[in-house]
Structure 1
């Protein structure tokens, strides 16, 4: 009888151990699993060359190639890691003429955690993985995003700029947590994803065009020619363009004499190319090409100015209108 009781005690002890193991590995467990997936491109969009040079521009990708599913509450230990090593054969976004636009890669949507190319960055640190909830989605795979910021100072030509980044992922973390918080297993893996980054640079100009002031005179024949006037243009590097001056608001037909107005009275005037008598207009040959600039003729310089001279005169073959302040508004346009 005593021997029988001993066997029963052993059976109950064995059942208790099996029950504990079932609780540890059964329905209360939580697992996570990661894999390398296809990325989503990161695009800066279309930006003027001036914005690219003067102001940092943001871009991002929602998927940098690592996606995870699971139901873990992320409590990553010091021996857990999610490494990303980013490399490229280029030093930035390469354009059609060989110009390069630099940019910085960040691990979050601020500038707190820049990623250095060729150096492992651990997304398990600084609570980045926790903030993303990367391991806490049991049904939908969540991916790691990346954020980009262009570096100012690039004087570049117009065109499409691109770079393909190679992102080597390596992860090792506790992927299964039991009812008592014990680690039931680790998810260990690695893989390489390719990420395309692109930016389109558009032509643009910075224009400096001072107002024309004829001063005052009692009769039209007493108005002096306004000479030595200049229009300065700093246009996209390598751009060939033309500059046109509109006919103003009161012109006598297309390409006709420009006129200033005061009330219902008019004072005819015009603007001429350089120091000559050829009218500067907005259509066809009346425009001026970038190669016609008096200073730095040719294609745009990006950071340097090209200078166009002109003179303006009041027509003296008109009757002197009544006294008043006469004004007009002329549109300057640049065509690429």
Structure 2
């Protein structure tokens, strides 16, 4: 008779960590105004450290997962060498900022434990990093990028006995790179007060409205043009603008600077940024460029019936 002896040996899956390729972090496409005035968040789900494991207890005080992040630049660099600064964080609450060039220990503040990085023997998990731009970057439009070098250096106990003594440590290190990018789009803030001709009993009594301005704050370095459309009730395309009251019209127009050249929306009827009365040239990003204009009611028309005459003109900026 043949007897079979089965011997069952205990099995334990240990944590295994390695440096891997990262997933890029992107801020997406943002207007230059949003970049300058509002902090913008981003993140990567994979900052280059991947682990599997089945640790049954939290990391101890002598366990470490250091990340040292460096770069040849101090932020996202664009086509004109403008720089967008941003801060790196070890969690999504921005309570643990990472200083460039200084080793940050992800084992502290329970970051690794909370991620569950060492608690799944089957599925590999990676370490995320969070980013947030610094308010105040006045930059030109274009694609901005930076390549970060991340040096990972870890030392932790992957096997503790029942008494808590460490039976084996995983000590290793490696470097990887992380690409961060953003696209900055041209934009403007526009201040365009309403035009009021006041009131008058007859057409000839309406005075020309002078001293009117349109103020624009546009993306640094942007060359643009400003157009005014024909309003809602123009006689025809490129014809006189008209205000309306009921079924009655009152013809008027808007002219460049203090002159008699009509300000329109097509071709040379537009105004270029280089034609501004204050700060002519390309956009400044933070300073206003001022365009003067005057408006008048045409006197070669019959006086229409009394009423409140209105029109709406669309101002557009083209880059």
TM-score normalised by the shorter chain: which range applies? Answer: over 0.9
Task: Look up the SS of the partner of 2:47 in the other structure.
Answer: coil
Q: 1:243 — aligned with what? A: 226
The structural deviation recorded for 1:70 is 1.2
Matched, 1:227 2:210: yes
| Over 2 Å off, 4+ runs | 176-184
Count matched residues.
Answer: 313
Unaligned runs of 5+ in 1: 1-18
TM score, norm. by length of structure 2: 0.96
The structure that is helix-richer by fraction is 1
Q: Which residue pairs with 1:31 in the alignment? A: 14
The equivalent of 2:3 in structure 1 is none
Matched, 1:198 2:154: no
Which deviations, in whole Å up to 9, do the C-alpha atoms of 1:202-240 show, x marking residues without a partner? 000010100000000001111000011000011000000
- State the distance in 2 between where 1:335 and 1:176 align: 65
TM-score in terms of structure 1 length: 0.91
**Unpaired stretches in structure 2, ≥5 consecutive residues:** 1-6
2:137 corresponds in structure 1 to 154
Matches within 5 A, 1:128-207: 128-178=111-161, 181-207=164-190
Alpha-carbon contact 2:82-2:139 (below 8 Å) kept:
yes
Deviation of 1:181 after TM superposition, in Å, equals 4.8
Aligned counterparts of 1:104 and 1:178: Cα–Cα separation in 2: 40
CA distance in 1, matches of 2:56, 2:126: 16
Aligned twin of 2:60:
77
Q: CA deviation at 1:178?
A: 4.4
CA offset digits 1:299-325 (Å, max 9, x no partner): 000000111000000011111111111
1:87-143 alpha-carbon deviations (Å, 9 max, x no partner)? 011011111101111000000001100000000100000010111000011111100
Q: Tell me, yes or no, if structure 1 residue 43 matches structure 2 residue 26.
A: yes
Matched, 1:332 2:315: yes
**How far, CA to CA, are the matches of 1:207 and 1:39 in structure 2?**
41
Distance 1:145 1:74, change over 3 A: farther
Partner of 2:240 in structure 1?
Answer: 257
1:282 and 2:265 equivalent?
A: yes
Equivalent pair of 1:85/1:167 in contact (CA under 8 Å): yes
The answer to whether the 8 A contact 1:205-1:235 is kept is: yes
Q: 1:100 aligns with which of 70, 77, 83?
A: 83
Question: What do residues 54-106 of structure 1 show as CA deviations (whole Å, max 9, x unaligned)?
Answer: 11000100000000001223411111000000001101111110111100000
> 2:4: which partner in 1?
none
Offset at residue 183 of structure 1 (A): 2.9
Task: Kindly name which structure, 1 or 2, has the bigger radius of gyration based on alpha carbons.
Answer: 1
Matches of 1:77 and 1:178 in 2, distance apart? 14
**Contact 1:74/1:135 (8 A) holds in 2:** no
Q: Distance in 2 between matches of 1:115 and 1:181?
A: 31
The CA RMSD measured in Å over matched residues stands at 1.3
User: SS state of the match for residue 31, structure 1?
Assistant: coil
